Structure 1
């Protein structure tokens, strides 16, 4: 099964900033799903490559799986309606955590650069680029209504976009410092700058992960909601008779 915490894959927005990703929520809440989720006006759509059902649509009082209507008694209709309400209430909370994570990630990049001895022009340009990337990521998260926006190559592409915008600027600044040191005869300083650049690249990810641990209580606060969703889906079956299992809660 593809590990992907249901209703919270917007957390992958944090991966775009080099930080938290979907498996972190799976570790905290033990909530996983094989489905992607799209929130549409009036209905929720869950889809996956397989096995059947590959498409589940929930609307007020109705359930369709793979295009077939599923007969529902009054209790099942109530469960469907409550399930939808819970998901729609959960989505903005998930996005808020993702937005906070983006800010933390950008702050971490800024903090790392503060120790590089960058010249004023480079610092100003770095600040401009960080602000622009943060604004774009915030907009993407705010506009997203589907986990498809953050899965697989899409998340990697967003991360590459941020890194590709910032890394050359820092590399150029450190390179110029190293060249200046070497030309002045300070080979030791030139070597130290090269080591600093290597350390920045290799050590940033774990330092960022530590910074993002402040998000853990907010993520933990989502766990009871995910547990409630798991309970609400109990007894709901697809048109082929199989349990829906839109979300699984592990131990």
Structure 2
């Protein structure tokens, strides 16, 4: 089963993400659906199994294009589900924005331990600020988990890595060459090791720093559990339980 949260996870900077796996680990929540918050309705969709499309709108329910008859209690339950899901979305965006800020700060702190030149550091800060601004806009504008599929997240991360890591590696490599020409082979070796280990060394340290986001994620778990409870008893047009969200131990 693909792990999905029924709201808006986002990619974080430098290959660090607020991923569905983290939501599953923290809140024990998963879903096989993607979700899109439309102005007048909420759409859940997945490639299989049926129902493939579940759309709810002010207490009305359609699955795979067919209207579902609901009694008054079910309509009330569905209306509350819609309202509480929409209320949860901006809270998730806030956590995502905090995660982005944390990722940028963590990357800046990590690179401050390197002997980078002043020009390189200034250019690094400029590029990080540009990427962060782009991500903030994407987070604010996103209304669908389709915007944060794993391949999309990987593409964003690779773009950032391709932009930032060569800048650092070139600076450290040039310094290593200069040190070697001065006869300081120990410094040259240390700088070369830093340059060659950038990609493999930075990511685990950044991921460790991102653990500071866990309390904010955990604070959303009761709302997610509440959504799972509200969906109970709701079925599609062919009688299948909706099971939009699973919450387990």
Scaled by the length of structure 1, what TM-score is found?
0.95
Which residue is 1:232 aligned to? 230
The 3-state SS of whatever aligns with 1:58 is strand
C-alpha separation in 2, matches of 1:239 and 1:130: 49
For 2:137 and 2:241, locate their aligned partners in 1 and report how far apart those are by CA, in whole Å. 36
- Distance, in Å, in 2 between the alignment partners of 1:19 and 1:229 is 23
Indicate yes or no: 2:122 matched with 1:107.
Answer: no
Aligned twin of 1:187: 185
How far has the Cα of 1:15 moved from its partner? Answer: 6.5
Q: Equivalent of 2:96, from 95, 98, 102? A: 98
**Residue of structure 2 equivalent to 1:221:** 219
Residue 236 of structure 1 aligns to a residue whose secondary structure is coil
Question: How far apart, CA to CA, are the structure 1 residues paired with 2:14 and 2:41?
Answer: 28
Alignment of 1:80-159 (within 5 A): 80-159=78-157
Question: Residue by residue, what CA displacement relative to the aligned partner does 1:58-89 show, whole Å, maximum 9, x if unpaired?
Answer: 00120000000000111111011100001100
Contact preservation (8 Å) 2:13, 2:104: no
Match of 1:34 among 1, 13, 32: 32
**Maintained 8 Å contact 2:15/2:154:** no
Alpha-carbon contact 1:126-1:166 (below 8 Å) kept = yes
Q: Which runs of 5+ in 1 are unaligned?
A: none
SS in 2 for 1:76: helix
Q: 2:204 aligns with which of 203, 206, 216?
A: 206
CA distance in 2, matches of 1:63, 1:249: 22
Q: In 2, are the aligned partners of 1:12 and 1:22 still within 8 Å (CA)?
A: no
Match of 1:171 among 156, 169, 172: 169
Q: Which secondary structure does the structure 2 equivalent of 1:2 belong to? A: coil
| Two-structure CA RMSD over aligned residues (Å) | 1.3
Distance 1:163 1:219, change over 3 A: same
Indicate the SS of the match to 2:42: strand
Give how far 1:182 is off: 1.3
Find runs of 4+ consecutive structure 1 residues off by over 3 angstroms.
Answer: none
Q: Which residue of 217, 240, 243 corresponds with 1:245?
A: 243
Residue 68 of structure 1 corresponds to 66
Q: CA deviation at 1:206?
A: 2.0
For residues 15 and 111 of structure 1, what CA distance do their matches in structure 2 show? 14
Per the alignment, in what secondary structure is the counterpart of residue 238 of structure 1?
Answer: coil
What TM-score, normalized to structure 2? Answer: 0.96
| 200-209 or 160-169, larger mean C-alpha shift | 200-209
Partner of 2:4: 4
How many residues are matched?
Answer: 249
Structure 1 match to 2:19: 21
